[in-house]
Amino acid sequence: MPKLWNETIDAHRAAVRTAVMDTTAALVAEQGLASVTMSQIAKESGIGRATLYKYFPDVEAILLAWHERQIGGHLDLLVEARDRADGPGERLKAVLEAFALISQESRRHHDTDLSAFLHRDQHVAEAQQRLHGMVRDLVAEGVRTGDLRDDIAPGELATYCLHALTAAGDLPSKAAVRRLVTVTLAGMRPDDTP
Amino acid sequence: MPKLWNETIDAHRAAVRTAVMDTTAALVAEQGLASVTMSQIAKESGIGRATLYKYFPDVEAILLAWHERQIGGHLDLLVEARDRADGPGERLKAVLEAFALISQESRRHHDTDLSAFLHRDQHVAEAQQRLHGMVRDLVAEGVRTGDLRDDIAPGELATYCLHALTAAGDLPSKAAVRRLVTVTLAGMRPDDTP
């Protein structure tokens, strides 16, 4: 087959995958994981049930694929936020703020069962490690420039940061999330108490 | 029946309940929630299966009772830590440190399924609210004395605190947990930047 034809097929497959994942995520958010069926997903996605099974074996597999795509998208957002900012202090702030806003947004979608299901996924652990590494490197940069405290290891400070910012899920507004980022960053400033 | 006799029966019942709850918690920690049976719990607790059913209808009920007792015990510890400390700054620090150490300890016992099961419990929400209220009041006290920042509401600072301290679950030592408390408190100091 000519290359163009292959590309057309690939694009079509990717579009079907995307539509199926988005439909499934919306259905699960509405009804909960337990009650969504493959037939319902096929119908709502506008494809045949047999076709759907060529793409995914079950609802869980679709949801994991969707979640993997979400996580990848979130990490990309953080990398973009980092690379758009000027200087170490601004870079760290931009990443923390982007992460806090994502935490606020994601929290709303999660019931505890769904969250437990998704967080058994190995991809989550890997993404958390990459995220932790990214924040740790930015913190280390801030320690070198003297903007952040050097009495605690950057890895520990990164762990503190990421947990503190999950508070965003309990906060009502973006303004509150920005205040949270301010407080979280303030905790990492050099300790001037004698 | 004489009062003493009633008290003896009550004490016996309480002792059986305690033994059953502790046995169940240990079995669930070892084997996971799904595989523990009432027969196994009766056997390990040294009582008959029929007797066990007079106390609890199923494994989930035992585990919820155990968890409720744990949460109550943890809140008591925090109140004790608060009341033992001198002055507002020390009281807040004592409560935060006690909470962080409990978080570190509890995290080790939780797999995600068990955690999702327990956290659907209404008692958890109530305990979290009491805890949040306790920390918020201590923060408000610190704001009044000028030790903590007044540009952010005490309730928001309490939310920040409690999330930041859950980082203790990912930290390897008590020394690291104390450093976490230091950083978390530092975030709430008055903002001196011009």
- Considering only CB atoms, which residues of chain B are within 8 Å of chain A? 112-113, 115-116, 119-120, 149, 152, 156-157, 159-160, 162-167, 170-171, 176, 179-180, 182-189, 191
* Nearest CA-CA distance, residue A165 and chain B, Å: 7
Look at residues A182, A81, A96 and name the one whose alpha carbon lies nearest to residue A139. Answer: A96
* Nearest CA-CA distance, residue B190 and chain A, Å: 10
Length of chain B counted residue by residue: 194
Host H or E run for residue B161:
helix B154-165
**Which residues, other chains included, contact B156 with Cβ-Cβ below 8 Å and sequence gap of 6+?**
A171, A176, A179, A180
CB B115 within 8 A of CB A116: yes
The Cα–Cα gap between B26 and A173 comes to 42
pLDDT exceeds cutoff 90 at B106: no
Host H or E run for residue B147:
none
CB B168 within 8 A of CB B107: yes
The Cα–Cα gap between B156 and B42 comes to 46
Question: In chain A, helix, strand, coil percent, each to 5?
Answer: 80, 0, 20
Confidence of residue B175 (pLDDT cuts 50, 70, 90): very high
The Cα–Cα gap between B3 and A107 comes to 53
Summarised one tens digit per residue, pLDDT across range A46-89 is 999 999 999 999 999 999 999 999 999 999 999 999 999 998 88
CB A161 within 8 A of CB A184: yes
**ipTM for this prediction:** 0.83
Residue-level pLDDT at A110: 57
Minimum Cα–Cα distance from B148: chain A residue: A183
Query: What are the DSSP calls for A93-134, one per residue?
Result: HHHHHHHHHHHHHHHHH--HHHHHHHTTSHHHHHHHHHHHHH
Dihedral sign for Cα atoms in the order B94, B96, B97, B99: positive
Minimum Cα–Cα distance from B119: chain A residue: A112
Residue carrying the six token digits 């196994």: B40
CB B188 within 8 A of CB B161: yes
**Domains along chain A?**
1-57 (1.10.10.60), 58-194 (1.10.357.10)
What letter represents residue A66's amino acid? W
Residues of A62-76 as b/e, b for ≥16 C-beta within 10 angstroms? bbbbbbbbbbeebbe
Which tokens hold the place of B57?
Answer: 């209808």
Q: Indicate the residue of B160, B182, B183 with minimum beta-carbon distance to A180.
A: B160
Which tokens hold the place of B157?
Answer: 């600072």
Query: If you average pLDDT over every residue of chain B, what do you get?
Result: 90
Minimum Cα–Cα distance from A173: chain B residue: B156
* Nearest CA-CA distance, residue A4 and chain B, Å: 46
Summarised one tens digit per residue, pLDDT across range B127-171 is 899 999 999 999 999 999 999 999 999 999 999 999 999 999 999
The residue ranking higher by pLDDT, A23 or A194, is: A23
